[in-house]
Amino acid sequence: MQKVYLFFALCLLSSTYSLSQKKLDSVAISGYLDLYYAKDFRNPSVNSNSLFVSSNQYNKLSVNFAYLSLGFFKKDYYLQFTPAFGTYMDANYANESKGTRWIFESYVGKNMHGKKFKQLDAGIFSSPYTQETAISGQQLMYSRSLSAEYTPYYLSGLRANFKVSDKLSWSAYLVNGYQHLPSKKYLPAFGSLLHWTPKKLILNWSLYLGNEQTKLDKSKTWRLFNEVNVERSWGKLKFQSCGYLGLQVLDNKLTQWWQINSILAYDILPSFSVNARLEYFRDVSEIMINQFYDNHGFHFIGTSMGIKYKLNESFSIGSEAKLLHNKAGLNSVIGTLFLQAKF
């Protein structure tokens, strides 16, 4: 996979570099800061939560996620580079090589101008899975559901974007496994996203198919992941829901995990909104989650409620309460205060 990725990346990068010897058409710079203070009121002495990678440090003011995004554009070519830091990066990139744990995005691309084929990218980019991303400011709620925390937030490899019709688009991925940077060697995996936008509705269907076997762990082989999420708005009311099923061959046996969650958000004022989430997650064989489990694996019900106030176009503040419970020892009430800033 590294050789395939490197070949396409060098081809695109060489084209971008040759054009950069001339004056760039444009440069785009943006930034983001996600600052939070969280506490588990059921377990007040606990200072971290390994169940999550987002906003997982307690009893102190912390940066969850901060980045500086740089975009360079010349004719049909572009380069996107986004270094980042924060507790999210520390947790989610812990298994990556030390020298790469600060890279949120780094890819080169080309606008193809085909009737259907629109863009080709090579590098590290955000994944298409679930309606939630690593950037809290893009979400209806501040925190993430477990569904997002246990699917890839990022992928590395190749991405091709196609426009099927005015309301239907498709993206195909050839990537280095289930959320791994190029410095780690995994067998090539396939990903897909079908994005459909009929009237007042957004529907996404994503897939992943890959072999998770490594030299150190030969127990896991083929993995198939199938996810659907939907979004609908009725004036001030917004609704999102996501469901997925994962299948994993483990020690030559087929195992599974699945989840479903729904979110409602209501704009009381243009600058003030309230939101709530209900979620259920089940992992019978502890494929994704190997804590707080019993003879029936990991399973839990979670609820979240929050408020958000938009100070201006750049700053938002808010708070959220998250309740997590199962019969295997998971019993948390997490309160969070947050500040989001973008420029």
| The pLDDT of residue 9 | 43
In this structure, the dihedral spanned by the alpha carbons of residues 298, 62, 241 and 280, taken in order and rounded to 10 degrees, is 20
Who contacts 212 (Cβ-Cβ below 8 Å, separation ≥6)? 177, 178, 186, 220, 221, 222, 223, 248
Say how far apart CA 243 and CA 186 lie, in whole Å: 27
| The pLDDT of residue 22 | 55
Distances (CA, A) of 139 to 131, 135, 306: 8, 7, 12
pTM of the predicted structure, to 2 decimals? 0.91
Say how far apart CA 221 and CA 223 lie, in whole Å: 7
Who contacts 10 (Cβ-Cβ below 8 Å, separation ≥6)? none
pLDDT, tens only, 169-228: 999 999 999 999 987 778 899 999 999 999 889 999 999 999 988 766 777 889 999 999
Q: How many residues does the chain have?
A: 343
Closest CA to 222 of 192, 240, 249: 249
pLDDT, tens only, 47-60: 999 999 999 999 99
Say how far apart CA 82 and CA 70 lie, in whole Å: 6
pLDDT tens track, the chain, 343 positions: 444 444 444 444 444 444 445 578 899 999 999 999 999 999 999 999 999 999 999 999 999 999 999 999 999 999 999 999 999 999 999 999 988 999 999 999 999 988 899 999 999 999 999 999 999 999 999 999 999 999 999 999 999 999 999 999 999 999 999 999 987 778 899 999 999 999 889 999 999 999 988 766 777 889 999 999 999 999 999 999 999 999 999 888 999 999 999 999 999 999 999 999 999 999 988 999 989 888 888 999 999 999 999 999 999 999 999 999 988 888 999 999 999 999 9
The secondary structure of residue 183, as a DSSP letter, is T
| The pLDDT of residue 327 | 86
| The pLDDT of residue 4 | 42
